[in-house]
């Protein structure tokens, strides 16, 4: 093994994991490094945030997925620096030498320079934030039930989602289901159906990456679930009392104690260090500009895939930060490395195959743009169900989980609506602080 080509993969999200799996039978030595011990099925994270799924149902331990892959080892650690000339990655605990490196460390929530907002508006990113959001949502109803002042009660019953991309729309739909169906009999002083769900976006329409007719269908479906869509509004402030927005007609304050951030992402912290050491260009979201082989110009042994990479399709259009792009990118990087190791010179540029786009809105309701076919309502939802079923089954033989979830979903049952971390759930702000503190704390040598 010692003389084998060493492939180091940073991150075990869709990009990193697909790269590792594509190397299963390759004559290389693979090291997968992630600061979490689990792979997260991020597209269903909003279901954890709304209490329909437990974290364990959308995450799978990395070691488990790769257990039978004997050429692969897994390290629980995080890259903090890189020496591209010495071909070494610096972790918290050790230095790892590579022959080929695949960087797939993903993205994190971006507040466009207003990081202080994250305290009041957690991003839909990672399990900790999803749990924080769940606390906030459920605790808001609990508070409204206790408070008699009408204005204050309304502020607890007003939910603001910033960003109307797929995540924001899916979250608003799930929240609408909760307010109108799941919780409808639970309270004595309030009617959860009176909750106001606001979805804000600066664009002209929701789901701006989808075809226009599907945006309209999605909007109609969301409104049926009691959500209000407000486009062309710009968030100018977020604090404990709500959101201030700039609309085409002026400024406005929305009183709310529950604001959720689904607006933008930026490359993970390691990106900055990578750009500094390699001189790689970054685009405004902090993503690393890569060439047609998904490598950093001048460093053919360093691949960047997934949300961390800025790449374009054959027509020069930037590729979106979605799971599909990461999966295909990871697999491409792996195959390219294998070809090089085998001396095969026939290496083609990365060619992204776009299967389409999906967003679910509620029970039996979604929009889908599949191979150019526009679907909405139940047909779109069934496509969505099928696609997700396939992915989940691929990662773990956890088909029963999925059936269970489909069952709970269809019966509007409550899956995992727990406010954990106990009594301080009464102080959602502290929770957010707790969550972000834990996210930013660095692992120590043990």
Any idea what the Cα angle at residue 398 is, between residues 392 and 403, rounded to 5°? 85
Known catalytic residue at 57: no
Burial, 68: exposed, middle or buried (Cβ in 10 Å; 0-12, 13-18, 19+)?
exposed
> Could you tell me the sign of the dihedral formed by the alpha carbons of 271, 272, 275, 277, in that order?
negative
- Applying CB under 8 A, among 53, 171, 174, 367 the residue interacting with a copy of itself is 53
* H/E stretch holding 391: helix 377-395
Per CB under 8 A, which of residues 185..244 are in contact with a copy of itself? 185-188
Q: Which residue's CB is nearer to a copy of itself, number 163 or number 192?
A: 192
Q: At what angle do helices 126-146 and 428-440 cross, to 10 degrees?
A: 170
CB of 437 to a copy of itself, least distance (A): 9
- Applying CB under 8 A, among 5, 24, 54, 385 the residue interacting with a copy of itself is 54
Task: Tell me if 304 sits within 8 A of 82, measured CB to CB.
Answer: no
- Applying CB under 8 A, among 56, 285, 320, 379 the residue interacting with a copy of itself is 56
Q: By CB under 8 A, is residue 73 in contact with a copy of itself? A: yes
Q: Which residue's CB is nearer to a copy of itself, number 67 or number 234?
A: 67
- Applying CB under 8 A, among 5, 36, 246, 339 the residue interacting with a copy of itself is 36
Per CB under 8 A, which of residues 368..407 are in contact with a copy of itself? 396-398, 400-401, 403-404, 407
Taking residue 93's Cβ as centre, other Cβ atoms within 10 Å add up to 14
- Would you list the DSSP string of 181-222? IITTTT-SS--GGG-EEEEE-SSSSSSTTS-HHHHHHHHHHH
- Applying CB under 8 A, among 75, 289, 382, 385 the residue interacting with a copy of itself is 75
Count Cα neighbours of 213 within 13 Å in the Cβ-side half-sphere: 8
- Applying CB under 8 A, among 85, 148, 249, 446 the residue interacting with a copy of itself is 446
Q: By CB under 8 A, is residue 421 in contact with a copy of itself? A: yes
Catalytic residue among 145, 170, 223, 240: 170
Q: By CB under 8 A, is residue 442 in contact with a copy of itself? A: yes
Q: Which residue's CB is nearer to a copy of itself, number 84 or number 415?
A: 415
Q: By CB under 8 A, is residue 67 in contact with a copy of itself? A: yes
CB of 191 to a copy of itself, least distance (A): 13
CA distance 145 to 136: 14
CA distance 5 to 26: 10
- Applying CB under 8 A, among 68, 284, 315, 345 the residue interacting with a copy of itself is 68
CA distance 258 to 243: 10
Q: Which residue's CB is nearer to a copy of itself, number 138 or number 262?
A: 138
Q: By CB under 8 A, is residue 444 in contact with a copy of itself? A: yes
Per CB under 8 A, which of residues 91..150 are in contact with a copy of itself? 92-93, 126-128, 131, 138-139, 142-143, 146-147
The β-bridge relationship of strands 196-200 and 299-304 is unpaired
Q: Which residue's CB is nearer to a copy of itself, number 346 or number 397?
A: 397
Q: By CB under 8 A, is residue 64 in contact with a copy of itself? A: yes
Burial string for 48-66 (b: 16+ CB within 10 Å, else e) reads bbbbbbbbebbbbbbeebb
Q: By CB under 8 A, is residue 37 in contact with a copy of itself? A: yes
Question: Which residues have a catalytic role annotated?
Answer: 170
């Amino acid at each position: 093994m010692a003389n084998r080509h060493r492939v180091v993969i940073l991150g075990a999200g869709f990009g990193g994991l697909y790269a590792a799996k594509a190397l299963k039978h390759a004559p290389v030595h693979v090291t997968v490094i992630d600061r979490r011990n689990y792979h997260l099925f991020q597209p269903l994270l909003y279901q954890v945030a709304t209490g329909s799924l437990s974290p364990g149902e959308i995450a799978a331990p990395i070691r488990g997925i790769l257990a039978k892959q004997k050429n692969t080892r897994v390290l629980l650690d995080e890259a903090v620096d890189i020496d591209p000339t010495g071909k070494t990655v610096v972790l918290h605990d050790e230095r790892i030498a590579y022959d080929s490196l695949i960087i797939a460390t993903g993205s994190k929530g971006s507040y466009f320079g207003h990081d202080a907002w994250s305290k009041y508006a957690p991003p839909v990113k990672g399990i900790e934030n999803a749990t924080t959001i769940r606390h906030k949502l459920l605790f808001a109803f609990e508070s409204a039930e206790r408070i008699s002042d009408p204005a204050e009660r309304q502020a607890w019953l007003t939910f603001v989602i910033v960003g109307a991309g797929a995540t924001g729309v899916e979250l608003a739909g799930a929240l609408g289901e909760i307010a109108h169906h799941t919780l409808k009999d639970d309270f004595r002083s309030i009617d959860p159906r009176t909750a106001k769900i606001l979805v804000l976006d600066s664009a002209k329409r929701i789901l701006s990456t989808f075809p226009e007719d599907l945006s309209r269908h999605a909007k109609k479906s969301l409104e049926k679930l009691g959500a209000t869509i407000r486009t062309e509004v710009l968030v100018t402030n977020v604090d404990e009392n709500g959101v201030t927005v700039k609309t085409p007609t002026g400024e406005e304050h929305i009183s709310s104690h529950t604001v959720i951030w689904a607006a933008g992402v930026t490359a993970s912290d390691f990106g900055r260090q990578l750009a500094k050491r390699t001189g790689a260009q970054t685009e405004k979201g902090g993503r690393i500009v890569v060439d047609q082989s998904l490598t950093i110009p001048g460093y053919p042994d360093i691949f960047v895939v997934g949300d961390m990479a800025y790449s374009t399709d054959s027509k020069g259009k930037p590729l979106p930060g979605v799971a599909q792009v990461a999966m295909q990118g990871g697999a491409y990087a792996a195959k390219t490395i294998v070809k090089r190791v085998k001396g095969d010179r026939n290496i083609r540029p990365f060619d992204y195959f776009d299967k389409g786009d999906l967003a679910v809105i509620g029970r039996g309701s979604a929009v889908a743009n599949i191979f150019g076919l526009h679907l909405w309502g139940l047909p779109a939802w069934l496509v969505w169900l099928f696609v997700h079923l396939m992915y989940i089954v691929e990662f773990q033989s956890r088909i029963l989980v999925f059936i269970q979830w489909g069952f709970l979903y269809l019966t509007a049952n409550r899956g995992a609506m727990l406010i954990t971390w106990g009594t301080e759930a009464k102080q959602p702000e502290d929770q957010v602080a707790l969550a972000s503190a834990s996210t930013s704390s660095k692992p120590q040598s043990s």
